Structure 1
Amino acid sequence: MPIRIPSDLPAQSELHKENIFVMDTCRAATQDIRPMEVGILNLMPNKMETELQFLRLLSNTSLQVNIDLIRIDNQAPKNTPKAHMDNFYVQFDDIAYKQYDGLIVTGAPLAHLDYHDVKYWDKMQVIMDWARKNVQSTLFSCWAAHAAMFHYFGKFRGLREQKLSGIYQHFVQNEHDELLRGFDPAFFAPQSRYGEISLEDYNSVEELNVLATSKEGGAYIVASQDKRLVFVTGHPEYDPDSLKQEYQRDIQAGGEPVLPVNYFEQDDPSKKPMVSWRAHGSLLFTNWLNYYVYQTTPYDLTQLSE
């Protein structure tokens, strides 16, 4: 079964073009099964681009998945039409009564702000506390992964002098964990961040397992032993040209960004990016949905808060 999304969500037409099977709400209503309930708390400015990236990864599963697109506040994002937000997103306060099988919290371009200076930090703390009681497994991406490590375990994030940007080789550290089932021992994944939490800090938390690392960026995938928290410091959801767009944007803003490593053919930004991460990115989210969500979640989601 595919992901279930609104019939008129713009992402649906793009997914169809990519030969990805999605089901609209009308067709899904005819199937007598209990679908997975997954929320995406989208913190990125360009909501439409980010929602498409994550929907693509969630579509490669035999499960039927209902998707709620969630916004953290009612402030209009700069890079997304207000009509899109009004039609397809729900306020967190309006779904706080619900329980979810899975929740994804995206990254956000907030690397140089202290957490307490983030305008919605208070609400983020409320959501993270709510998720511990009302979500079977929550996957935090990039900035959200560091923010969750600070909130749950008090681990501070440092900042790198140069942005970690490019496609890096990562190595499986626990081949028997179900989240990495089917992974090659070494695989590639995009990174785009200034934030850094040391491997020592991750390893110091007894209930966490570091599952995959890179030499350049340290921890990449970390999960709690009960499978209810997953931290992904990179961007397996990125499109082929996402790092290119970030690089060009930083140049246009007057900066001198580092060239994303292992990304452009012959390290020439006029050439096409080399795509080497999408298979493992898709496998990561398929494994998360199957082994961390579907295989562990109660049939009656109200039991989560008991």
Structure 2
Amino acid sequence: MLDPTLCIQKPLTNSWTSLSWQVFNWLTTPALVIPPLVLLTVLPLLFRRLRWRRRISGLGATLLCVYLLTLSPTMVKIGNRVLVTFLPSDVGAPADAIVVLGRGTEMRPERVDVSARLWEAQRAPLIFASGWGDAQQIADMLAQKGIPDTAIDGEPCSRTTEENARFTAAIVQPKNVHRILLVTDPPHMLRSLLTFRSLGFEVIPHTNPLPNHLNVRSKAYLVFREYLGLVGYGLRGRFLPREPSAADISPTAIAPIQEALPLEVPVAPVLSG
């Protein structure tokens, strides 16, 4: 596992990630959004001399209806269904590695369970965890399930999906890891698949289920954040073919992990019990 102290983080990336999460958190908190929209609908009608009062009020009412509809359970289900419709099926082909993306504490158990089952089924000999604040914890949980240390690796530097893909490519592709089983939640999978594919990976998507305790607001947050993420990544060209770069990770940090990875992909043993 890459030493976290060797990670090189860009302040701009960290600030943008933090800001985007704050904005999305505000947008998915009805108590913070509905009152301003109600005021936008009602207040203009109180000023009879305001020339555009009906249009402004109509705009507020429209935005309020769209917002309430967007956060409804039905729309969240439809939005999630659209995101997974275009994913290729996992037909059981072997891969060079299982790449597990961090997504926070709530998502971690399902990811660990899925990746452990894939390894036990001999789908790939290596599980590679990627994500700041997640990679080491995922590795520890996999070890508790009986996965040997030689089959677990990762990097704890990446803070975005873009960095997940770039850092993973920089570390594992020099050791001929090109076909991967990608593990993440259904809303996040499409953007992740396109990003990893742009860096030369052949990606087999394998989603983990969302935690049962997630409420509608949390699911809406995940789903509609991905639509904005797809647009943002697309406009920045992050789905187009390109070469991986390790500019954000120290070369002295990458070398030990690259040396530890197998030169050829062996057959993973099946756990007893």
- TM-score by structure 1 length? 0.27
More strand, by proportion: 1
More helix, by proportion: 2
- TM-score by structure 2 length? 0.29
Between Structure 1 and Structure 2, whose CA radius of gyration is higher? 2
